[in-house]
Amino acid sequence: MPKNYAHHTNNLSKVAFTAAMVVFLGTLTSCQAPNSPVKDSKVDESAPKNMPYPSVLKLFSCKPDDAAFVAAHRGTHEGSTFPENTTESLQALAAAKVKFAEIDVARLKDGTLVLWHDGIWDRGSTGKGPIAASTWEDAQKLLTKDTNGNLTSIRPSKFTDVLEWSKDKIYLEIDFKSSVDPKNVIQEIQNAGMINQVILIAYNTDQASLFHDLAPEAAISVSIFKPGDIKALEVRGIPKSVMTGWTGRGPLDKPLVDALRSNNIPILAASFFSLDDQLQKSGNFKDYVSFAKPADLVVTDFAFDVQPVLMMNQNQENQMLACLASK
């Protein structure tokens, strides 16, 4: 192949990637005003499809330190018309420019993987009793309830369908419920070509080690509550390059933040423990800015409210675009 042809092809690839990043980053900034949760958001299916997303680890590596992404806890916004853990709720989040959703994956009696948080159907649907006693056929006879407890026309979502829709539309944090075999869940993620677009949530070091063995390239959410936890994870064979640091209830004290930053480990912080409710009562959503200052990802029950507050400004967007285009 002539050198000038190879150079021309490489330049075209860079141009195409830069164009893709412009589209991708454009979804980070334009969103609805605070205090107006989206009720009937729909994704614009006429928009370009299958625009390749950067890997989640690459995304974090290029995110400016003074910016944070938003993740919707259980894949929805409390007080909205969207049930938790459904494809429809993820579509509403994407329409509201929320880039991450935390979802729960459970297993039915026939082995079907579905999105569901509780071990029983009762709270979130018209069903009763353990979900592990139901088949997919049974689940499709149920209707889900929204976050206000009102009945909807939406049925439980199959994990494979969610993965198919989510590819290059939204990043997913995957919470493995006790009913699932992690190997099966990770295999489905790999089959969907989504392994670089997810964060696998591990609740202990053994689980993190298993996830890394099954998917060495995948980002893993690991509990890091003090600087020494980083070394303990490394000793178990989990490299810092795939760690994202779950800091739980906090506090995010300076030694912990400094340790995570110096090791290039993205910081995950949760506002859903108490801050979300406090700010809903006060209505002062700007307080999310100070909460998010040391974080890279804020997991919240009120994503529609937090997203406009934490959206990137033009300088941050340009910085991220330049970084992504250069890698």
256/294 Cα distance (integer angstroms): 10
Tens digit of each residue's pLDDT (9 = 90 or more) over 79-126: 999 999 999 999 999 999 999 999 999 999 999 999 999 999 999 999
If DSSP states are collapsed to H, E and C, what string results for the chain?
Answer: CCHHHHHHHHHHHHHHHHHHHHHHHHCCCCCCCCCCCCCCCCCCCCCCCCCCCCCHHHHHHHCCCCCCEEEEHHHCCCCCCCCCCCHHHHHHHHHCCCCEEEEEEEECCCCCEEECCCCECHHHECCCCEHHHCCHHHHCCCCEECCCCCECCCCCCEHHHHHHHHCCCCEEEEEECCCCCHHHHHHHHHHCCCHHHEEEECCCHHHHHHHHHHCCCCEEEEECCCCHHHHHHHHCCCCHHHEEEECCCCCCCHHHHHHHHHCCCCEEEECCCCHHHHHHHHCCCCHHHHHHCCCCEEEECCHHHHHHHHCCCHHHHHHHHHHHHHC
Domain range enclosing 137: 30-311
Residue 2 within any structural domain of the chain:
no
The domain that contains 75 carries what CATH number? 3.20.20.190
For the ranges 26-40, 183-197, 303-317, the lowest mean pLDDT is seen at: 26-40
Tens digit of each residue's pLDDT (9 = 90 or more) over 15-31: 455 555 555 655 544 33
If one counts the domains in the chain, the total is 1
Residue 320 within any structural domain of the chain:
no
Residue 44 within any structural domain of the chain:
yes
Residue 224 within any structural domain of the chain:
yes
Please, which residues have CB within 8 angstroms of residue 284's CB and are 6 or more apart in sequence? none
Residue 41 has pLDDT above 70, yes or no: no
Residue 324 within any structural domain of the chain:
no
Residue 239 within any structural domain of the chain:
yes
Residue 162 within any structural domain of the chain:
yes
Q: Mean pLDDT across the stretch 230-237?
A: 97
Residue 34 has pLDDT above 80, yes or no: no
Residue 251 pLDDT level (bands cut at 50, 70, 90): confident
Q: Mean pLDDT across the stretch 279-293?
A: 95
Residue 121 within any structural domain of the chain:
yes
The pLDDT score that the predictor gives to residue 276 is 97
